[in-house]
Amino acid sequence: MLTHTKRIIKTGWNSFVRSGFTSVASILIMTITLFVIISLIFVQAALNNSLNDIKDKVDVTIYFIPGAEESSIKKVEESLVKLPEVKNITYTSSKEALSNFKDKHSNDYLTLQALDELNDNPLGASLNIKANDPSQYESISKYFESDDALVKESLTIIDKIDYSQNKLIIDRLTSIINGAKKLGFMVSFVLIIISIIITFNTIRLIIYMSKDEISVMKLVGAGLKYVQGPFIVSGILVGICSALLTILIFIPVSIWLGNNMTDFIGINLYQYYKSNFFQLFIIMLGSGILLGSISSIFAINRYLRK
């Protein structure tokens, strides 16, 4: 078994080297496909970074009426913390709200003067809610329409919930996230199919160049695996060379992107490339080997059926 395997690998290597220009053409074609795939990974990383920044800025705030007792507000907070959709809750007292308002309008003397003339604090406390996912804010908002007795009692101290004002932004963000995931999957799937078809045709050229050898092997009674093996090895070699070339090409590309596009896209792609180099290398190597071997299997099987 080991002897047969060595012969198959050696024959495949010789076929790969002897094919020359055809092997180089196959490598370049697959390199383009892998280049686009790794580019999509970079785009997805940049998009996820931007979307995460936006997600961090989206929230729902519950505003309580001025003078609401802190103990009642804490009961509402305790009931919300139990919801699986809630990531964290930040409590802002009425005093903190007034202080923040004054800091925000420090240059608006008329507004500050009007506040000084009031005897009481016109601002109430609030609870700022962060959800695990933007799509979950609606269910958190609807929680206050449930039959929970504690929630029903708390409605009397709630002034407003700003979910309706943020709903358009939240829905649009959720749509962008879902659309980006679907688009990335569809583009990757189409590129993989195109790569298999193109590599399939180039491997067929290698097989056609070796048709005399295949005929001789079939005449002397060589098994199907021994006939297929060398061409599968050639396809795997094409995939390995393409993956290595793609990884090398992306070193200067990622350096340029890191130096010139970080402020624009919000993420240093060179640092991302370095920190995820091993994973990207495995993805490229696995993709190249898989595409090369699948294309070779399809090509040789179709030739042998003739």
pLDDT tens digits for 250-265?
Answer: 889 888 888 887 777 7
Same-domain check for residues 185 and 258: yes
- Spans in the chain with pLDDT lower than 50: 149
CB atoms within 10 A of CB 121: 16
- Exposed (0-12), middle (13-18) or buried (19+): which is 135, by Cβ within 10 Å? middle
Q: Residue written as tokens 């898989």? A: 290
What are the backbone angles phi and psi of residue 92, rounded to the nearest 5°? -125, 120
pLDDT recorded at residue 105:
73
How does strand 126-131 pair with strand 60-64? antiparallel
H-helix segments, the chain: 2-19, 21-57, 70-81, 94-104, 109-117, 137-142, 149-154, 163-209, 211-219, 224-260, 262-265, 269-275, 277-305
Instruction: Give the model's pLDDT for residue 259.
Output: 85
Q: Which amino acid is at 93?
A: S
Residue 274 falls within a domain, yes or no? yes
**pLDDT per position as a tens digit, 62-79:** 888 888 888 888 888 888
| Host domain of residue 134 | 66-156
Shared-domain flag, residues 127 and 250: no
What local confidence, expressed as pLDDT, does residue 300 receive?
A: 75
Q: Is 156 helix (H, G, I), strand (E, B) or coil?
A: coil
pLDDT for residue 142: 76
Residue 59 placed within a domain? no
Distances in Å between the alpha carbon of 120 and those of 13, 95, 98, 158, 287?
A: 86, 11, 11, 19, 68
Q: Are residue 48 and residue 70 in the same domain, yes or no?
A: no
The pLDDT value recorded for residue 149 is: 45
Could you tell me the pTM of the whole model?
A: 0.63
Within a domain: 61: no
User: Is 19 in the same domain as 84?
Assistant: no
The two tokens of residue 87 are: 């990531």
Do residues 49 and 73 share a domain? no
Q: Provide the pLDDT for residue 22.
A: 72
Number of domains in the chain: 2
The helix/strand/coil state of 207 is: helix
